[in-house]
Amino acid sequence: MNSELSQDIDRVLISRGQLQSTVAELGARISRDYAGKNPLMVSVLKGAFIFMADLVREITVPCTVDFMAVSSYGKGVKSSGQVQIIKDLDTNIEGRHVIVVEDILDSGVTLSYLLELLRARRPASVRLCALLDKPARRKVPVQIDYRGLTVPDEFIVGYGLDYAEQYRNFPEIAVLKREVYEKHS
Ligand code: IMP
Ligand code: MG
């Protein structure tokens, strides 16, 4: 494994193999449910970019993709509760079947805001697909239609997830060493 990156990793929570089979299962379920519906996959940047790339390749029905960027975190590890749209969709979603693809559902603040915003644009339907669920930290209830794995209440990185924009390229989901945060705070 890439040693410069793995130096900062305390332990791996979810391996490549587990990620692969989880994503394949989600893709198979979506493919079954959306036959003939040509869904629009909406990914929330940046954290979900790797999950999105892997997920759409497991979807066997026609679909299109679009991206949004929102921010609620700044550089820290705790949500500020403020949601900002940094990049909106290019697609008109009126009448479309939309699937929002998220990396992790934490407080739910970002997602509940986003889902409300999308529903106001009169799509045919909106569902949520989240690779990871961290239920311990939920502040706002959000229905997850396609849930990958449940994770404990720890800050995790890798497979798209960052700490201060770093570690997105670590191929597994991992917990950082404590001293990494202490260096930055
Ligand atoms: P929420 O509004 O608190 O649910 O924020 C969700 C967003 O926060 C996710 O899309 C992630 O980008 C980020 N996030 C939440 N938990 C973690 C974590 O453990 N590691 C890295 N990013 C996280
Ligand atoms: Mg993020």
Residue 76 has pLDDT above 60, yes or no: no
Q: What is the pLDDT of residues 10-59, one digit of tens each?
A: 999 999 999 999 999 999 999 999 999 999 999 999 999 999 999 999 99
Instruction: Kindly report the CATH number assigned to the domain that includes residue 120.
Output: 3.40.50.2020
Number of domains within the chain: 1
Which residue minimizes the CA distance to atom 16 of ligand 1?
106
Cα(8) to ligand 1 centroid in Å equals 20
Tell me the average pLDDT across 158-166. Answer: 97
CA dihedral 101, 107, 109, 112 (to 10 degrees): 50
Instruction: Give the active site residue among 54, 103, 106, 133.
Output: 106
> Is 153 noted as a catalytic residue in this protein?
no
Q: Which atom of ligand 1 is nearest to the CA of 110?
A: 2
Each residue's pLDDT tens digit, 127-160: 999 999 999 999 999 999 999 999 999 999 999 9
Please report the atom of ligand 1 found closest to the CA of residue 155.
Answer: 19
Quickly list DSSP for the chain.
--HHHHTTEEEEEE-HHHHHHHHHHHHHHHHHHTTTT-PEEEEEETTTHHHHHHHHTT--S--EEEEEEEES-TTSSS--S--EEEE--SS--TT-EEEEEEEEESSSHHHHHHHHHHHTT--SEEEEEEEEE-GGG-SS----SEEEEE--SS-EEBTTB-BTTBSTT-SSEEEEPHHHHHHH-
Cα 144 → chain centroid: 12
d(CA 133, CA 70): 18
Mutate-to-test residue for ligand 1 from 44, 103, 144, highest number of ligand atoms within 8 A of CB:
103
Whether the bond between 37 and the residue before it is cis, its omega within 30 degrees of 0, is: no
**If pLDDT is split at 50, 70 and 90, which confidence band does 80 have?**
low
- Tell me the per-residue pLDDT of 64-73, one tens digit each, with 9 for 90 and over: 999 999 876 5
Give the residue numbers spanning the domain of 167: 3-182
Residue 79 has pLDDT above 60, yes or no: no
Ligand 1: centre distance to CA 99 (Å): 18
Q: Is residue 128 within 8 Å of residue 141, measured between CB atoms?
A: no
Q: Which atom of ligand 1 is nearest to the CA of 103?
A: 10
Ligand 2 centre and the CA of 36: distance in Å? Answer: 32
Across 77-81, 90-94, 107-111, 150-154, least confident range: 77-81
Q: What is the pLDDT of residue 71?
A: 76
More confident residue, 134 or 185: 134
Question: Which residue from 134, 16, 24, 163 is spatially nearest to 177, judged by alpha carbons?
Answer: 163
For residues 178-182, average pLDDT: 87
For residue 105, give the ligand 1 atom closest to its CA. Answer: 4
How many angstroms is it from 133 CA to the middle of ligand 1? 10
Cβ < 6 Å from ligand 1: which residues? 44, 47, 72-73, 79, 102-111, 155-157, 161
pTM for the predicted model, two decimal places: 0.92
Q: How far apart are CA 83 and CA 92, in angstroms?
A: 22
